[in-house]
A and B are shown apart, each in its own frame.
Chain A
Amino acid sequence: MSAAATLPSLTDAIALGLTDSEYELICEKQGAPPNILELAMYSLLWSEHCAYKHSKKLLRTLPTEGPHVVMGPGENAGAVDAGHGLVCAFKVESHNHPSAVEPFQGAATGVGGILRDIFAIGARPVAVLDSLRFGELGGPGSARSRYLLDGAVSGIGHYGNSIGVPTVGGEVYFEGPYEQNCLVNAMALGLAPREALVRSAAAGPGNAVVLFGASTGRDGIGGASVLASAELGEDDDKRPTVQVGDPFEEKKLLECSLELLELGLLVALQDLGAAGLTSSASEMASKGEVGIDIDIAAVPLREADMEPFEVMVSESQERMLCVVEPRNVDAVLEVCEKWEVNGAAIGAVTDTGRMRVLRDGELLGDMSVRALVDDCPLYDLDPVKPTAALYPPPAATLSADASPQESLLALLASSNIASRRPLFEQYDSIVGSRTIRRPEQADAAVLALPDGSALAVSIDGNGRRVAADPRNGTIATVLECAANLACVGAEPLGTTNNLNFGNPEKPHIAWQLTEAVAGLGEACRALAAPIVGGNVSLYNEGATGPIYPTPVIGMVGRLPDGRRAGRLGFLNAGDGLALVGPFAPSQPASELAKLRGHVLPDGLPPVNLPDAVAALAAVREAVRSGALSSAHDVAEGGIAVALAECALAGRLGATVTLGDGWWEALGAPGEDGAPNWPEGARDAALFGEGPAGILVSGPEAGLRSLAAQTHVRLIGHVGGECLRIALDGQDLIDASVEELAEAHAGGLKGYFA
């Protein structure tokens, strides 16, 4: 049956996620109502997932340029200068909806997809990180959260371990609003010689278009694209369209792609992701301002009876599309044969500016590339700050009467703070022999470069704090990411982000998104860490409401000497201990507030960005100079938890006095760093959270030189087998490192038995 035999109607268009006016616009662009194939292709390219129609205008406000940027947004991945002729390509991408349907394959193919983005620009992937969010692990509804957690972690491990790319870091949080919509964001980094980078713009009419990799099946038809724009209900019917990942195929595809590029056989390269051939071919044509003809009869199929539209929209994994000069096609297919990868010339570049789909010469679809890729209408958001709380308070799990010591142990054992060892032990973090800092050794992962320098990378998000204050919460998230780099001695080179939000057509979600993007831009400008790429995942809401607004930030930095990479664990008994930065802790929206079942506050205290940035720079320089023994960002659970984490990583205790003398600055820049204590000062001092606090230890001389640069408060010294914390002369905490370790190690262990 020819695809043009029966024309689809407006109803079909709406079922595919288009609006009335979008359908009318398509008819106008086509000069006639589109046939099934054309409508399917338009509906995918005009989906939120491909066209960013509710976010593009906001994204245009972000800083994307800087001295280190080699390739900015718009390519498969961004790239920054890593020194000595090397560039680092990196990007984060979400696979939230597929993971909510089938966590193992959803997460696995998420990793596969982001790795293809990296090698599509000619870089060899060298690291994966992941950022995960699930519902609570205890209480009603938690069985599904545990299933999703286990599946996603196994899937990430399965893919990364098998393909030989180390998973070097990541984060995982558990909060009620993610119960219906888990978040699975994966980030990858790759390295390439600067001159080896390749773009995806098709060029040269008459050149061949070659598809290589796995054969094309019915998997994921309408997958990411349709799923990504519908609020996910409770039904499990979507399972049959799940894409299945094959890391072995991808490993061959990776080696094959890099060999093709090294031999200089390709004009352009692009991976196939959401919307399959439709998206990759159209985008290659659009970037090169050319046309492409695809002969679907030449596409190697897994099932012979596939409809033309199925071939064009299939999201079968592990496929790449390239443009090749005709004289090189045989050589390309030979390299494919060497790596036991299917390769087939399936079309040609034209000068028509049209995307045409043929089958053995019969024209099945004919669309303007510009209409497909560039003419999707972009929408303005209608942001309105909500007048009432959007999120119900969490169930209290810790009594307000708990002693400071009981609170500390409860926090260490809580799912958001407990040791991630049960997860990261399922990942190969060392293959490739670049990993200088493994998980739980430092705040950021550190990867050795051939010239003795090193890259540092961190991925962070904090949905609860962004929910409390989208702008300041996002600024704090970016600062945390930068602080993690500073703690290993790295200077930011560039940033990637994944904006995970609810339905942007709702005014309060539009407000969250608008505020968060404003904060993101502000913080990245202040840190000179421009955005080089990213991804947006909207409509993350279910029957129980939206997720916490969750911008996930990935940042890559560089340090000149890998041997001097900072570590988080205490190292030497007798070292002084200091808190660095304009840290002003407060209890609302903290982990302690969550354990106590507090409702989210309306707003967070603002941070002085220039002061925060200066503090990070000072810590970075001190780490680089070798003046410090340890450095650790104060995050969830405040100073007490940060101290415990340093003690656990170094298996060494500390004695700390807060209060009297805890504001004693060793020198400049004066007394303005002291915050005003709110009510509940004791809890805020011990467990309060806020950006721009870094806990460092080291010889006194090192701390003194740091104090000449920024706010430094001496709070104690390292040593012994216990963590002792006194506040205003009162001993509040005295716990052995063993006791802390037991609480910390046990929190998540039981979920992976």
Chain B
Amino acid sequence: MKFGVLQFPGSCDEVDALEAARMVGEAELIWHRDRDLQGADAIVVPGGFSYGDYLRAGAIARFSPAMESVIEFAREGGLVLGICNGFQVLCEAHLLPGALLPNVNLRFTSRQVRLDVVAPDTAFTSACPPGRQLSIPAKHSWGRFHADAETLERIERDGQVVLRYAQGENFNGSVGDIAAVSNETGNVMGLMPHPEHAVQELTGGSTDGLSIFQSIRLAAERVAA
């Protein structure tokens, strides 16, 4: 099982994501100018400030050659996880519904947050311990998830809301406390908190993030089997 982790100019958390992925499988970095996804079974679009996020978070990265391949990969059912800036990129690429807007407090905010696993049977959450909250750091200034009423109703109804901020933890003002959403077919998920920063007790404050990567591995193996 192999992860490919995209690297844009301005990516910051790509090495953290690479190391987290390597705790459950193989993983390689994929340079933004490369179209070749190197046979990866799952793609991680990591956090950071791709292209400086200068126009709008994620807006430019989504047109990179690597992202074009990722869009095709996702349409064929490939597993894609977008973390923070990666979530923004996947929304800009229309692989995920909705958009990310500036935090209500208008400040970059870095905080360990608790998350409720709303959809425990997805390709990204099946290894999460049942009934338990995840404790994962979040750190961003553009993390307020927004979707129009119709979209919101649809994603809630179709089980596309995967993680929610636990009570009192929604500092960015996301609609419906939504922390993670998936696409209709369930093979693409984006989330603002950083599971790759919660994989080691020593530096992560918890190891809850690892279950997201383990879930992806299980899902990839099911596809392969």
Is A–B contact present in the complex under a CB 8 A cutoff? yes
- B13: CB under 8 A from chain A? yes
CB-based A-B contact count at 8 angstroms: 86
A256 to chain B, nearest CB (A): 10
Q: Which of chain B's residues 109-156 have a Cβ closer than 8 Å to chain A? A: 109-111, 137, 139, 141
Q: Which chain B residue shows the least CB distance to A251?
A: B10
Q: Is B9 touching A252 in the complex (CB atoms < 8 A)?
A: yes
| Contact between B52 and A339, CB atoms less than 8 A apart | no
Assuming the contacts A162-B49, A248-B54, A426-B110, asked whether A433 and B203 have C-beta atoms less than 8 A apart, the reply is: yes
Tell me, in angstroms, the Cα distance from A433 to B14 when the chains sit together: 11
Contact A433 B197 (CB under 8 A): yes
The complex places the Cα of A435 from the Cα of B110 at a distance, in Å, of 14
Bound complex: CA of A435 vs CA of B11, how far in Å? 19
Checking B13, B49, B109, B205 against A247 with a beta-carbon cut-off of 8 angstroms, the contacting residue is B49
Residue of A nearest to B9 (CB): A252
- Bound: A13/B16 CA distance, A: 53
Whether B35 is near chain A, meaning CB under 8 Å from some CB there, is no
- Which residue of B is nearest A249, CB measured? B52
Using an 8 Å CB-CB cutoff, how does the interface string of A148-180 with B read, 1 for contact, 0 for none?
000000100110011110000000000000000
Interface string of B52-93 (1 = CB under 8 A from A): 111000000000000000000000000000000000000000
Most buried by B among A430, A432, A752: A430
- Residue B184 interfacial (CB < 8 Å): no
A237 within 8 A of B: no
Contact A429 B49 (CB under 8 A): no
Q: Does A56 contact B (CB under 8 A)?
A: no
How distant is the Cα of A438 from the Cα of B110 in the complex, in angstroms? 11
Would B51 and A430 count as touching, CB distance under 8 A?
no
Contacts of A255 in B (CB 8 A): 9
Known: A164-B12, A430-B137. A248 touches B52 (CB 8 A): yes
Out of A429, A431, A434, A563, which one reaches B13, CB within 8 Å?
A431
Q: Are A448 and B139 in contact (CB under 8 A)?
A: no
Inside 8 A of B197's CB, which chain A residues have their CB? Answer: 430-431, 433
The 8 A CB mask of B183-210 against A (1 = contact, 0 = none) is 0000000000010110010111100000
Verify if B97 is at the interface (C-beta below 8 Å from A).
Answer: no
Q: Is the CB of A428 within 8 A of B110?
A: yes
Residues of A within 8 A of B200 (CB): 433
Tell me which residues from 288 to 312 in chain A have a Cβ below 8 Å from any Cβ of chain B: none
A190 within 8 A of B: no
Q: Which of A255, A429, A431, A433 has the most CB of B within 10 A?
A: A433
> A435's contact among B9, B12, B19, B203, by CB below 8 Å, is which?
B203
Contact indicator A433/B19 (Cβ below 8 Å): yes
Shortest distance in angstroms between B196's beta carbon and chain A's nearest beta carbon? 8
Q: Is the CB–CB distance between B203 and A248 below 8 Å?
A: no
| Docked-complex contact A429 and B202, CB < 8 angstroms | no
**A447 (CB) vs chain B CBs: closest residue:** B203
**A425 at interface (Cβ–Cβ under 8 A)?**
yes
Interface flag for A325 (CB, 8 Å)? no
With contacts A425-B111, A428-B108, A436-B202 known, is A248 near B16, CB below 8 A?
no
Report Cα–Cα, A339/B51, bound state, in Å: 11
Contacts of A249 in B (CB 8 A): 52
Q: Please report whether the interface of chain B is mostly helix, strand, loop or mixed according to DSSP.
A: mixed
B203 A430 Cβ-Cβ under 8 A: yes
The 8 A CB mask of A711-753 against B (1 = contact, 0 = none) is 0000000000000000000000000000000000000000010
Q: Is B94 an interface residue (CB 8 A)?
A: no
What chain B residues lie within 8 Å of A438 (beta carbons)? Answer: 205
User: Does A549 have its Cβ within 8 Å of any Cβ on chain B?
Assistant: no
Residues B9 and A426 in contact, CB atoms below 8 Å apart: no
Return the CB mask of B161-181 against A: 1 if under 8 Å, else 0. 000000000000000000000
**How far is A340 from B51 in the complex, measured between Cα atoms in Å?**
10
Contacts of B53 in A (CB 8 A): 162, 248
Q: Is A246 an interface residue (CB 8 A)?
A: yes
Partner of A251 from the list B9, B107, B203, B204 (CB cut-off 8 Å) is: B9
Whether the Cβ atoms of B48 and A164 lie closer than 8 Å is: yes
- Cβ of B108 and Cβ of A752 under 8 Å apart? no
A427 to chain B, nearest CB (A): 6
Q: Any chain B CB within 8 A of the CB of A562?
A: yes
A427 touches B202 (CB 8 A): no
A247 proximity list for chain B (CB < 8 A): 49, 52
List, in ascending order, chain A residues with CB within 8 A of B9's CB.
248, 251-252, 255, 339-340
User: Nearest Cβ in chain A — how far from B56, in angstroms?
Assistant: 14
Taken together as a complex, chains A and B put the C-alpha atoms of A297 and B137 apart, in Å, by 49
A-chain residues with CB within 8 Å of residue B51 when the two chains form the complex = 248
Residues of A within 8 A of B139 (CB): 161, 428, 430-431
A-contact 0/1 string along B11-26, CB 8 Å cutoff: 1110110010000000
Contact A563 B202 (CB under 8 A): yes
Do residues A162 and B13 form an inter-chain contact, with CB atoms below 8 A?
no
Q: How far is the CA of A432 from the CA of B197 in the complex (A)?
A: 9
Residue of B nearest to A154 (CB): B107
Cβ–Cβ contact A426 & B109, under 8 A: yes
**With A251-B9, A563-B202: A433-B16 Cβ-Cβ less than 8 Å:** yes
Q: For residue A432, which residue of chain B has the nearest CB?
A: B16
Chain B contacts for A563, CB-based, 8 A: 202
Nearest B residue to A246, CB-CB: B52
Write out the residue numbers on chain B whose beta carbons fall within 8 Å of the beta carbon of A162: 10, 12, 49, 52-53
Residues of A within 8 A of B204 (CB): 430, 433
- How far does the alpha carbon of A428 sit from the alpha carbon of B15 in the complex, in Å? 15
Contact residues in B for A154 (Cβ distance below 8 Å):
107
Per-residue B-contact encoding for A415-445, CB less than 8 Å = 1, 0 else: 0000000001111111111111010000000
Contact between chains at B12 and A431 (CB < 8 Å) = yes
Of chain B, the residue at the smallest CB distance from A753 is B105
Residues of B within 8 A of A433 (CB): 15-16, 19, 196-197, 200, 203-204
In Å, the complex CA distance between A522 and B41 comes to 60
Q: Give Cα distance in the complex from A663 to B2, angstroms.
A: 63
The CA-CA distance from A434 to B203 in the complex, in Å, is 6
Q: How far is the CA of A163 from the CA of B11 in the complex (A)?
A: 8
Name 14 extra pairs, CB < 8 A, besides A251-B10, A430-B203, A435-B203.
A162-B49, A164-B48, A164-B49, A248-B10, A248-B49, A248-B52, A249-B52, A255-B9, A339-B9, A426-B110, A430-B194, A433-B203, A436-B202, A448-B203
Question: Could you show 25 A-B contacts with beta carbons less than 8 Å apart?
Answer: A161-B49, A162-B12, A162-B52, A162-B53, A163-B12, A248-B10, A248-B49, A248-B52, A248-B53, A249-B52, A251-B49, A252-B9, A340-B9, A425-B109, A425-B110, A426-B108, A428-B108, A430-B139, A431-B16, A432-B15, A433-B15, A433-B16, A433-B19, A433-B204, A436-B202
Enumerate the 4 nearest inter-chain pairs by beta-carbon distance, A residue then B residue, closest first.
A164-B12, A248-B52, A162-B49, A433-B16
* Contacts from A to B (Cβ < 8 Å): 154, 157-158, 161-164, 246-249, 251-252, 255, 339-340, 424-436, 438, 448, 562-563, 752
